[in-house]
Amino acid sequence: MYLGGTLTMRNVVRELRTTRGLSQGQLAVAMGVSRQTINSIEQERYTPSLPLAMALARFFETTVEAMFGAAD
């Protein structure tokens, strides 16, 4: 249960992207965003919008919950 404060998110976008042999630029084109957006998501400096998170999950054939979650 989340009771307030700062929630730290972690994601596995980089791992999924590199496993598929894709560059950040290639993933960005597939998602319709900039390479800088993908880089910021991977560096955990930017949390994607729900539609982008869902598109990434669909692209990688997984769930949003499996891709993005609270860090322990």
The whole model's pTM is what? 0.83
Q: Please state the domain extents for the chain.
A: 10-61
Is CATH 3.40.250.10 what the domain over 10-61 is classified as, yes or no? no
Question: Residues 2-49: pLDDT tens digits?
Answer: 555 666 668 999 999 999 999 999 999 999 999 999 999 999 999 899
CA distance 25 to 21: 12
Cβ contacts of 39 within 8 Å, gap of 6 or more: 24
pLDDT score recorded for residue 50: 95
Element (H, E) at 11: strand 9-11
